Structure 1
Amino acid sequence: MKQKHTKSQTTQLYQEPTAAEMRTSRLSIILANTKEFAIFAIIALVFWFAITAALVAMAGG
């Protein structure tokens, strides 16, 4: 009686991903940086308007 040879999944060892596979794509980096800058710019403008309004209210400009 012949048995069919099946390839076992346990015979393959785990291989760490290469540096190229782990690298984040340039588009993802650019989009993340753009989003963070937009958030920073909006927060900076809100604080600037708030500080300016407070100074105008106190000094009566």
Structure 2
Amino acid sequence: MKETASHSNTPVFAKNESNTKPVLYQHPTAEEMQTSRLAIIWANAKDFAIFIATALVLWFIITFVLVGLFGG
């Protein structure tokens, strides 16, 4: 019973190789840089809906403040 206890669970590898590749960064292709029309339309529609909702909420707040100050 003269076994040496190993306190490490890391495996032993034959040699230490780097995982980095020679090309670290590549510029995106033209196809990768183009945004689909549906994505652009959807983003614009969401922005417009947020704008309209904000404008309506602010209009109601201003209206109620003015009615409270000056009477209806």
> Do both proteins adopt the same fold according to a TM-score greater than 0.5, normalized to the shorter chain?
yes
Structure 1 stretches lacking a partner, 5+ long: 1-9
Letter of the structure 2 residue corresponding to residue 48 of structure 1:
W
Greater RCO between the two (CA within 8 Å, min separation 6)?
1
> Over residues 15-49 of structure 1, what are the superposed CA-to-partner deviations in whole Å (9 max), with x where a residue is unaligned?
53322321110000000000011011001000000
Provide the rounded CA distance (Å) in 2 between the counterparts of 1:32 and 1:25.
Answer: 11
**What's the secondary structure of 2:35's corresponding residue?**
coil
Larger Rg: 2
Structure 2 stretches lacking a partner, 5+ long: 1-20
Normalising by structure 1, we get a TM-score of 0.70
Q: More helix per residue: 1 or 2?
A: 1
Between the aligned residues of both structures, percent identity stands at 61
Following superposition, the deviation at residue 58 of structure 1 comes to 0.4
Q: How many residues align?
A: 51
